[in-house]
Amino acid sequence: MKEKRVLNHGRIRLVEQMGGDGAVVRAARRCWRSVSKGDASDHRLLVHLLKHNHGTPFEHAVFTFDIKCPLFVARQWFRHRVASYNEVSLRYCVAEKEYYVPDDLEPEGRITYDRTIRQAFEVYDRFLAEGVRKEIARAVLPLALYTEFYWTINVRSLMNFLHLRLAPGAQHEIRVYAQALLEILEETMPVTAKCFQENALNPQVPSREDGP
């Protein structure tokens, strides 16, 4: 299975895939009761669909990913509603003590950052030891904490995600996940990925749909 390492402890793993470039072409050609007419013609068809915003044929290609990312990234991620999510619950699981460390802190800032997060982890552990329920104790945990979830999404919705999260205005920490997803798309649906990058991916678009 394809797996990409992202940030200091994150990952994107391709778990399952359905459809692919062929499924998009097949669905689009159903409209005219026609079938694939060779690579060059199929390529032109995909370019046409992407340029003219005919998204439905791309819904027949579907991926399931296994994602690990910081909570503040997951908060942006879960804004994308046309997708399926199943995430580790801190009501039932004890948090693993893995957290994101940004590259751009000064040495002293980094020490403060680590100490603050580790103190929160210690308080969390002490609360659990004293019998505080996990769902309450987690309130002290920081947004830097990593979470894990399965994510099933069709390629139409994935391209929308990439369009918004690869934009220069998107936060760096989610852009690197979007970049890894684009690489997996290139490896698994090369024709769609190429047409998408040449025709629909607009690098000038800033993204503002965000959560704390």
Query: Which sequence positions are flagged as catalytic?
Result: 165
Measured distance CA(18)–CA(133) in Å, rounded: 40
1 binds its own copies per the rule CB under 8 A: no
Residues of span 5-64 touching its own copies by CB under 8 A: 16-19, 23, 26-28, 30-33, 52-54, 56-57, 59-60, 62, 64
Measured distance CA(60)–CA(156) in Å, rounded: 9
211 binds its own copies per the rule CB under 8 A: yes
Residues of span 74-93 touching its own copies by CB under 8 A: 74-75, 78-79, 81-82, 84-93
Cβ nearer to its own copies, comparing 1 with 92: 92
Token match 């104790």: residue? 137
CA quadruple 6, 186, 73, 11: dihedral sign: negative
One residue of 2, 3, 128, 143 binding its own copies per CB under 8 A:
143
Cβ nearer to its own copies, comparing 31 with 44: 31
**Long-range contacts at 199-202 (CB < 8 A, ≥ 24 apart):** 199/47, 199/50, 199/51, 200/50, 200/51, 200/159, 200/163, 201/162, 201/163, 201/166, 202/163, 202/167
Number of other residues whose CB lies within 10 A of the CB of residue 130: 8
126 binds its own copies per the rule CB under 8 A: yes
Find, among 90, 59, 40, 32, the residue nearest to 152 by Cα. 59
2 binds its own copies per the rule CB under 8 A: no
Please provide residue 116's backbone torsions phi and psi, each rounded to the nearest 5 degrees: -60, -45
69 binds its own copies per the rule CB under 8 A: no
Cβ nearer to its own copies, comparing 175 with 193: 175
Cβ nearer to its own copies, comparing 41 with 119: 119
Cβ nearer to its own copies, comparing 175 with 182: 175
How far CA 143 is from CA of 75, 100, 128, 192, in Å, comes to 9, 9, 19, 35
One residue of 9, 43, 47, 71 binding its own copies per CB under 8 A:
71
128 binds its own copies per the rule CB under 8 A: no
149 binds its own copies per the rule CB under 8 A: yes
Name residue 91's amino acid. Answer: R
Give the nearest distance from C-beta 59 to its own copies in angstroms.
4
3 binds its own copies per the rule CB under 8 A: no
